[in-house]
Amino acid sequence: MTKHRILVQLDSDEQASVFDAVVAVDSEVEHLLQYHSVRPEQVRDLVHGAMFTRGPKDLHNTAVFIGGSDVAKGEQLLAAAKQCFFGPMRVSLMLDANGANTTAAAAVLAAARHIDLAQSEALVLAATGPVGQRAVRLLARGGCKMRVASRSEDRAAAACDAIRSAVADAQLTPVATGDTEQTAVAVEGVDIVIAAGAAGIELLSAELREACSSLKVAVDLNAVPPLGIGGVEVTDKAVERDGAICFGAIGVGGTKMKIHKAAIKSLFDSNDKVLDADDIFAIGQSLEVSE
Amino acid sequence: MTKHRILVQLDSDEQASVFDAVVAVDSEVEHLLQYHSVRPEQVRDLVHGAMFTRGPKDLHNTAVFIGGSDVAKGEQLLAAAKQCFFGPMRVSLMLDANGANTTAAAAVLAAARHIDLAQSEALVLAATGPVGQRAVRLLARGGCKMRVASRSEDRAAAACDAIRSAVADAQLTPVATGDTEQTAVAVEGVDIVIAAGAAGIELLSAELREACSSLKVAVDLNAVPPLGIGGVEVTDKAVERDGAICFGAIGVGGTKMKIHKAAIKSLFDSNDKVLDADDIFAIGQSLEVSE
Amino acid sequence: MTKHRILVQLDSDEQASVFDAVVAVDSEVEHLLQYHSVRPEQVRDLVHGAMFTRGPKDLHNTAVFIGGSDVAKGEQLLAAAKQCFFGPMRVSLMLDANGANTTAAAAVLAAARHIDLAQSEALVLAATGPVGQRAVRLLARGGCKMRVASRSEDRAAAACDAIRSAVADAQLTPVATGDTEQTAVAVEGVDIVIAAGAAGIELLSAELREACSSLKVAVDLNAVPPLGIGGVEVTDKAVERDGAICFGAIGVGGTKMKIHKAAIKSLFDSNDKVLDADDIFAIGQSLEVSE
Sequential DSSP letters for C247-258: E-HHHHHHHHHH
Contacts of B289 (CB under 8 A, 6+ apart): none
Q: How many CA atoms lie within 13 A of B37 on its CB side?
A: 11
State the alpha helices, DSSP H only, in C70-214.
71-82, 100-112, 130-141, 153-166, 180-187, 206-211
Nearest to C192 by CA among C174, C169, C209: C209
Write out chain A residues lying below 8 Å of B42, CB-based: 14-15
Give the minimum alpha-carbon distance from B71 to chain A in angstroms, rounded to a whole number.
Answer: 21
pLDDT at B1 over 70: no
Q: Note the pLDDT tens digit of each residue in A210-251.
A: 999 999 999 999 988 889 999 999 999 999 999 999 999 999
Contacts of B156 (CB under 8 A, 6+ apart): B127, B128, B148, B149, B150, B174, B175, B176
Distance CA B128, CA B153 (A): 11
Please, which residues bridge with residue A289 across strands? none
Contacts of B57 (CB under 8 A, 6+ apart): none
Q: What is the pLDDT of residue B288?
A: 86
Distance CA C167, CA C170 (A): 5
Residue in B closest to A223 by C-alpha: B52
pLDDT at A91 over 70: yes
Chain C residues within 8 A (CB-CB) of chain A?
Answer: 14-23, 25-26, 32, 34, 69, 253, 257
Closest residue to C52, CB basis, from B15, B19, B21: B19
Contact B8 A23 (CB under 8 A): no
pLDDT at A112 over 70: yes
Give the minimum alpha-carbon distance from C75 to chain A in angstroms, rounded to a whole number.
Answer: 21
Rounded to an integer, the average pLDDT of B222-233 is 91
Helix axes B18-25, C40-51, angle to 10 degrees: 30
Q: What is the pLDDT of residue A48?
A: 95
Distance CA C1, CA C115 (A): 49
Domain boundaries, chain C: 6-95, 101-252
Share of chain B above pLDDT 70, in %: 99
Nearest to B52 by CA among B2, B87, B89: B89
Contacts of A118 (CB under 8 A, 6+ apart): A142, A143, A144
Residue type, C253: G
Q: What angle do CA B87, B88, B94 make, to 5 degrees?
A: 105
pLDDT band at C91 (very low <50, low <70, confident <90, very high): very high
Q: Which of C6, C14, C32, C33 should we substitute to test contact with B (largest number of B Cβ atoms within 10 Å)?
A: C33
Write out chain B residues lying below 8 Å of C52, CB-based: 19, 253
Report the mean per-residue pLDDT for chain A. Answer: 95
Contact B19 C53 (CB under 8 A): yes
Neighbours of chain A (3+ CB pairs under 8 A): B, C
Estimate to the nearest angstrom the gap between the alpha carbon of A261 and the chain centroid. 14
Q: Note the pLDDT tens digit of each residue in C158-208.
A: 999 999 998 989 999 999 999 999 999 999 999 999 999 988 899 999 999
E-assigned strand segments in C178-231 = 192-195, 217-220
Closest residue to C53, CB basis, from B15, B23, B32: B23
Q: pTM for the whole thing?
A: 0.94
CATH T-level fold of B101-252: Rossmann fold (3.40.50)
Q: Which run of H or E residues covers position A158?
A: helix A153-166
Strands A121-125 and A192-195 turn out to be parallel
Distance CA C117, CA A62 (A): 39
Distance CA A209, CA A184 (A): 9
Residues in chain C: 291
Q: What is the pLDDT of residue C1?
A: 65
Give the minimum alpha-carbon distance from A83 to chain B in angstroms, rounded to a whole number.
Answer: 29
Q: Write out the CATH class of domain A6-95.
A: alpha beta
Distance CA B54, CA B2 (A): 11
Same fold, C6-95 and C101-252: yes
Write out chain A residues lying below 8 Å of B52, CB-based: 19, 253
pLDDT band at C66 (very low <50, low <70, confident <90, very high): very high
Q: What is the pLDDT of residue A82?
A: 97
- Region of B236 (left: φ > 0; alpha: ψ -120 to 50; beta: rest) is beta
Rounded to an integer, the average pLDDT of B269-277 is 97
pLDDT band at B291 (very low <50, low <70, confident <90, very high): low
pLDDT at B85 over 70: yes
Do residues A33 and C18 touch, judged by C-beta distance below 8 A? yes
Closest residue to C46, CB basis, from B18, B25, B32: B18
Neighbours of chain C (3+ CB pairs under 8 A): A, B
State the alpha helices, DSSP H only, in B11-99.
18-25, 40-51, 71-82
Please, which residues bridge with residue A64 across strands? A8, A93
Residue A105 burial by CB count (10 A; 0-12/13-18/19+): exposed, middle or buried? buried
Estimate to the nearest angstrom the gap between the alpha carbon of A8 and the chain centroid. 20
Write out chain C residues lying below 8 Å of A63, CB-based: none
Do residues B163 and B133 touch, judged by C-beta distance below 8 A? yes
pLDDT at C31 over 90: yes
pLDDT band at A291 (very low <50, low <70, confident <90, very high): low
Residues in chain A: 291
Q: What is the pLDDT of residue B224?
A: 82
CA dihedral A17, A19, A25, A26 (to 10 degrees): -160
Q: What is the pLDDT of residue A228?
A: 95
Distance CA C7, CA C97 (A): 15
Give the minimum alpha-carbon distance from C49 to chain B in angstroms, rounded to a whole number.
Answer: 4
Nearest to C82 by CA among C71, C100, C95: C95
pLDDT at C290 over 90: no
Write out chain B residues lying below 8 Å of C54, CB-based: 22, 26
DSSP string across C90-127? --EEEE-GGGHHHHHHHHHHHHHTTS-GGG-EEEEETT
Contacts of A117 (CB under 8 A, 6+ apart): A108, A111, A139, A142, A143, A144
Residue in C closest to A8 by C-alpha: C18
Do residues C262 and C283 touch, judged by C-beta distance below 8 A? yes
Give the minimum alpha-carbon distance from B7 to chain A in angstroms, rounded to a whole number.
Answer: 10
Neighbours of chain B (3+ CB pairs under 8 A): A, C
Distance CA C202, CA C227 (A): 6
Cα separation of the two ends of chain B: 34
Helix axes A277-290, A130-141, angle to 10 degrees: 60
Cα separation of the two ends of chain C: 34
Give the minimum alpha-carbon distance from B98 to chain A in angstroms, rounded to a whole number.
Answer: 22
The phi and psi torsions of A189 (rounded to 5 degrees) equal 85, 0
Q: What is the pLDDT of residue B240?
A: 97
Q: Widest CA span of chain C, in angstroms?
A: 66
State the alpha helices, DSSP H only, in C190-275.
206-211, 249-267
Q: How many CB atoms lie within 10 A of CB A226?
A: 12
Nearest to B57 by CA among B93, B88, B83, B32: B88
